[in-house]
Every structure is written in C-alpha cells, then in structure tokens.
Chains A and B, each alone.
Chain A
Amino acid sequence: MSIAKRVQQWATFARTWHIYDCTWQNPFESASLVKTHLMGLHKPIYHPMNDCGDHVVLINTKEIALPGDEWVKRVYFHHTGYPGGASWTLAWQLHEKDPTMVMKKAVYNSMAGNLQRRHTMQRLHLFHDDQVPQDILANVTNQIRTPRTVPQRLDHIDKETLENFPAIMDYPKDYVLR
C-alpha cells in the first residue's frame, strides 16, 4: 500500500467531533439527528459492521424544550427488580434531577437495541451547560445545524429593534393607554 493510499484510509476512517447546542431543541427530534452522526449513517462508507461513527458533544442539555405539556405527560419507567419496585418519573422531575438524562435517554432509545448501542453511546458527550472541558472542545471541528430556531424573548430584544419595528395596529381615538 502506497503512502497516499494509507493516509486516504486514515482520513476515510477519521472520527470527526461534532458539537450540538440543545438550547430550545426537542430532544427527540435532535436524537435522530445526533444518532445519524454517532453511528456514521451520514457517511457513504456506512455499514452496520463498519465502525465509522463520529463523536458528538451535546451542550446546554438543560435548555431543551418539549412541546405543549409534554413535560408532565412523558413518563420514564424504572423497576428495581424487587416486588413493588416499579417507579414512574415524569420528564420534568427527571430533568430536575439530572439535566442530561432526558437527552441521553432520547438518543439511547432512538437506536436499535443491539450490542453496538452501548459502545456507540460512549461517543456521546453530554454537558448540561456550555462549560465544556478544553481538551474536548479542542477536538471539535464541526457543528450540527439545529432544526429549531431559538425563540427570542421580548425583554431580550434590543431597544433599537423594538423602536424601529413597524406597527400594524394603532389605537382608536378614544383609547385609554394602559
């Protein structure tokens, strides 16, 4: 094998590090996206027996958003194995206990339950805020585009935009401002 072919192989199987900002993202929409990169499904060389998955760093998992009232509708089940050991935890309670767990479980459950799953999960790095260790951050070279735009709060919009934004409704003449 010539040197060019050897480094071509090296580059083909290089593990890329992606970063994904979970702020205001649905964890279950994000999971399918993250899973694709974790397993290497986005690569033309993908094969189930081919170890070509990438690393994904998830930041701000504390800021995930669920639609409607799903925080109280989604329930995580656990059984200790002993009689009466079943427990049901609401998503918001789980999120309060561990802000990375909802996201982690979403990614874990999005993958097929085979022997590879736990090894693939080892390549997932979760952080509840944006404080990522420097040695991990140095590896990152790609950002995964988020499907959902982060909504802007009215009190965070700067004053200039607020003043220049066109009005589409004026008060009637007899209106008392409140």
Chain B
Amino acid sequence: MATLLKVATRTLRGTFWQTRSLTTTTPLSIKEIHEKRESNALVYEGVDVVSPRLDKMLKPACDSTFCPECTLGLDIKHTDVLILSQYVRSDGCMLPRRITKLCHRQQKKMGTLVTMAQKAGLMPNLAPSWSKKDPKMRFGWRKFNKYFLESTIKY
C-alpha cells in the first residue's frame, strides 16, 4: 500500500515539475556582451558564459550568505587587493550590494577599502580606460606613495 502510494506521488510530482519547466522565457545565465563590426554594421551580441569564478569558489565559507568579516572573521586591509578586486568591476567601480550580497555595513566598509586601495595605486589595472594606469604618472602629490589606516573608516 505504502509503496503504491509512493510510486503514485512520484509520478505525480514528475508530471508537476515537467509542467513547471514549460515556460516561455529562457533560463537565466551569466552573459558577456561582445561587440563585433561586420561591414558597416556594429553588432552587439550577448553571449552566455560560465562564471569564471565557478570552480574557484571557497565552498565551506560561501554556502550561506557571506561577509568576510561576519562569517570568516577576516580583518581585511586595503592592501589585500586579491580580495578587494573581486568586488570591483573591470573599470574599478564598486559592485552594488545586490550583487556582492554583503551586509550593509560590510558593503560600506568594502567600498572605502577599495577607494583606499585605488588611491594608494594598488589596483591600477582595474581602472577606467582613459586612466594613466601607472600611479607614478599621477599629478602633483598623488604620484608619491601613500597608505591608509583602516582605523579611520567610520563604520
């Protein structure tokens, strides 16, 4: 009786899910925008890509919502560019909270740390295309080395 019931529910659930997958919209995936020029026509194409970070994810730490300080107890400095660069777009812009999934306080702090690292010239390759890239080429006093104290971050 019990087995009969189980088989019945399984088939029922199978049919249910099959019906759910029949949607009119395409499934979500990460896209990259490619720009191509084909004889006087500029073609923009959204290509589906696998996330480059997929196999590098720190699994045990990132199962639930993850903040470096809240979950791991990390004390991140502005010199930890390998961590900070993950929260930054290729032009050096801080990613929004919707994407970083950080708590509010961490988001603000991370933004400040990124700014510090950029001012100290530690992430010159993550910068807008028009920037000089090399921090030694900056104007006036900005060309000299400077560092920041994390204790000056207010939140």
What residues of chain A have their CB less than 8 Å away from a CB belonging to chain B? 24, 26, 63-72, 90, 92, 95, 148-149, 151-155, 157, 161-178
Contact = CB atoms under 8 A, between A and B. Distances in A.
Nearest to B62: A168
Contacts, number: 125
Contacts of A68: 146, 148-149, 152
29 contacts: A24-B145, A26-B147, A69-B146, A90-B141, A153-B121, A153-B122, A153-B123, A153-B124, A157-B81, A161-B82, A165-B82, A166-B58, A167-B57, A168-B57, A168-B62, A169-B99, A170-B51, A170-B53, A170-B57, A171-B51, A171-B53, A172-B98, A173-B29, A176-B31, A176-B33, A177-B30, A177-B33, A177-B49, A178-B33
B31 A167 contact: no
A166 B51 CA distance: 14
Interface of B: 28-33, 46, 49, 51, 53-54, 56-58, 61-62, 66, 68, 79, 81-83, 85-87, 89-91, 98-101, 120-126, 140-141, 144-149, 152
Given A154-B81, A176-B46, A166 B56 contact: yes
A168 B147 contact: no
B149 A67 contact: yes
B147 A151 contact: yes
B74 to A, nearest CB: 9
Contacts of A176: 30-33, 46
A161 B85 CA distance: 14
Nearest to A95: B144
Contacts of B57: 166-168, 170
Nearest to A177: B32
Contacts of B147: 24, 26, 65-67, 148, 151
